Homo-oligomer: A and B are copies of this chain.
Amino acid sequence: MSVLASRPHSVPALTVALLAVVLVPGPVAPAFAAAQPTPSVGTPPFTAAQLEEARLLRERCLVDDTGYETLRSLTRNVGPRFAGSPGDAIAVDWALKRMRELGLKNVHSEPVTVPHWIRGNCSVEVTSPAAQTLAAVALGGSVATPESGLEAEVVPVTNLDELARIDSTRLEGRIVFYTGRMQRAEDGSGYSRAVTVRGRGAAEAAKRGAIAVVIRSVGTDRNRLAHTGGMRPEAGDKSIPALAISNPDADLLEDLLASGQPVRLRMRNSSQWADSTRSANVIGEVPGRERPREVVVLGAHLDSWDLGQGAHDDGAGVAIMTAAAKMIGEARLKPRRTVRVVLFANEEFGLSGARTYARDHAAEAGVHVLGMESDLGAYAPLGLHSRVPADRLPAIRAMQAMLAPLGVQYRGNDASGDADVGQLAALGIPVCDLDTDASEYFDWHHTANDTFDKVDPALVRRNVACYAVLAWLAADHEPGFGRAPKGR
């Protein structure tokens, strides 16, 4: 049980005052029963006044472009902000300033140590049976090739399973080419299947004697802009150069291989590792009117990959969560508890910010009422998952019902908190996940094409409305959400 949920609270005077001036349907009195630490079956989890406040907030968010203009400012005035890069520090300053401009309180940064990898330049050329230059980028963390490059015959494999079945003598001294293609899907499920070769492809190929790998970009587009992304190194891994090539270039390479002739690649990469450096989580709040120490966390990550402007990933999340807090801060009635926006440092290259926040705030896990994260771009909201005790599900369903006009269905009590807020879920903090349509997101993800023009202002507004409503209701929900159940 959470510290919060076990504490009895009185019905706040301000709510009574509010109810007197708001037109609400049905009897008002029974709703007060919800303001008990343990809700009982059949008792509405929110008062009509609370729901009306949330409805008004939703409608205001749907006509407000604070989120879109915040994203414009971030992409124009900061741009790429990879962990440890000059843009990263500029982004932290930008976020502090922007939060203050939007009226958030307790705006501050909390230091985070981040790894520092420097991309350098890379090139990939087919040297035989034809001369072709491929559009390529280094995967995050790749080591360099020798300065003069390396050249070897290519061995195509679909995925890690196929790699494991191939005789090592065919791999020794060769460049492994992972050919598997990511499938487009509304739920983004193609990503988790395809991304395994980005995470472990180089390390597993190195174990079998390969001297480098190229992977078909983990992305659904057909642009000649390759997709970068982090690898998942493990202790004892041997490091070999690891590059991604664009989908059209992977098609070309597959066609050349299909001719039956040996295909040779020449690769160069000049990435390097530098000493770990400093970044920061940036935090701003709408203080709760009654229990300001208790917080609902709206999370997004401030860092981006270095190739684009990080517009959808995760400028959109930064903009959506910051705007949601701003709209809550301007609500007629601020919620009982604090709404805290946490813009995490370095999600992309090791979750440094989320891990640091979870470590530094572990002792306050009990005052974290609920966490949510926006990190799948600004696309149509479709579904809500929760991870709360069963007796809190009526509250979650009431929150979802407020988003039903925006197309959000309830999808189950199996939320993860996603990458950053997932670190809070691991502390037992309840979380919600808002599913959005991921069909297009992986066209831009981790490429130079992740720019402001790809973002639809109407979808930013819709996301802001969802998170503002969820956060307002969660922060105003008398009994809170207890502790999250283990497992999924």
Query: Which residues of A are interface residues toward B (Cβ below 8 A)?
Result: 72, 75-79, 86-87, 90, 129-133, 135, 222-225, 247-248, 251-252, 255-256, 259, 308-309, 448-449, 451-454
B130 and A78 within 8 A (CB): yes
23 A-B pairs with CB atoms under 8 Å apart are: A75-B252, A76-B130, A76-B132, A76-B255, A76-B256, A79-B130, A79-B132, A79-B133, A87-B131, A222-B453, A223-B223, A223-B225, A224-B308, A224-B451, A247-B453, A248-B449, A248-B452, A248-B454, A251-B452, A251-B453, A252-B309, A252-B452, A255-B452
A191 to chain B, nearest CB (A): 21
A449 and B130 within 8 A (CB): no
Contact residue among B130, B255, B449 (Cβ-Cβ distance under 8 Å from A224): B449
A76 and B252 within 8 A (CB): yes
Given contacts A76-B255, A135-B448, A248-B452, 4 further A-B contacts (CB under 8 A): A75-B252, A76-B259, A78-B130, A247-B453
Contact residue among B248, B259, B454 (Cβ-Cβ distance under 8 Å from A453): B248
**Residues of chain B within 8 A of A309, CB atoms compared:** 252
**A255 and B75 alpha carbons, distance in the complex (Å):** 10
A316 to chain B, nearest CB (A): 15
Take A225-B225, A255-B72 as given contacts and tell me if A77 and B451 are in contact as well, using a CB distance cutoff of 8 Å.
no
**Residues of chain B within 8 A of A255, CB atoms compared:** 72, 76, 452
**A259 and B73 alpha carbons, distance in the complex (Å):** 10
**Residues of chain B within 8 A of A79, CB atoms compared:** 130-133
A12 to chain B, nearest CB (A): 44
A252 to chain B, nearest CB (A): 6
B224 and A77 within 8 A (CB): no
**A46 and B375 alpha carbons, distance in the complex (Å):** 66
**Residues of chain B within 8 A of A131, CB atoms compared:** 79, 86-87, 90
**A255 and B79 alpha carbons, distance in the complex (Å):** 13
B451 and A252 within 8 A (CB): yes
Residue of B whose beta carbon sits closest to that of A78: B130
Copies in the complex: 2
Nearest first, the 5 closest Cβ-Cβ pairs linking A and B are A248-B451, A224-B448, A248-B453, A79-B132, A77-B130
**Residues of chain B within 8 A of A76, CB atoms compared:** 130, 132, 252, 255-256, 259
Residue of B whose beta carbon sits closest to that of A308: B224
A4 to chain B, nearest CB (A): 43
A97 to chain B, nearest CB (A): 13
**Residues of chain B within 8 A of A135, CB atoms compared:** 448
**Residues of chain B within 8 A of A448, CB atoms compared:** 135, 224
**Residues of chain B within 8 A of A256, CB atoms compared:** 76
A337 to chain B, nearest CB (A): 37
**A452 and B251 alpha carbons, distance in the complex (Å):** 9
**Residues of chain B within 8 A of A251, CB atoms compared:** 451-453
Residue of B whose beta carbon sits closest to that of A307: B224
Residue of B whose beta carbon sits closest to that of A451: B248
**Residues of chain B within 8 A of A247, CB atoms compared:** 453
Residue of B whose beta carbon sits closest to that of A94: B130
A106 to chain B, nearest CB (A): 27
**Residues of chain B within 8 A of A454, CB atoms compared:** 222, 248
Residue of B whose beta carbon sits closest to that of A251: B453
**A173 and B234 alpha carbons, distance in the complex (Å):** 55
A126 to chain B, nearest CB (A): 9
**A129 and B256 alpha carbons, distance in the complex (Å):** 46
A219 to chain B, nearest CB (A): 13
**A224 and B137 alpha carbons, distance in the complex (Å):** 15
A77 and B129 within 8 A (CB): yes
**A78 and B131 alpha carbons, distance in the complex (Å):** 7
**Residues of chain B within 8 A of A222, CB atoms compared:** 453-454
A178 to chain B, nearest CB (A): 18
Take A86-B131, A255-B72 as given contacts and tell me if A223 and B78 are in contact as well, using a CB distance cutoff of 8 Å.
no
**A225 and B248 alpha carbons, distance in the complex (Å):** 14
**A256 and B75 alpha carbons, distance in the complex (Å):** 11
**Residues of chain B within 8 A of A77, CB atoms compared:** 129-130
A129 to chain B, nearest CB (A): 7
**A30 and B423 alpha carbons, distance in the complex (Å):** 87
Residue of B whose beta carbon sits closest to that of A449: B224
**A259 and B252 alpha carbons, distance in the complex (Å):** 43
A76 to chain B, nearest CB (A): 5
**A454 and B255 alpha carbons, distance in the complex (Å):** 15
**A277 and B251 alpha carbons, distance in the complex (Å):** 33
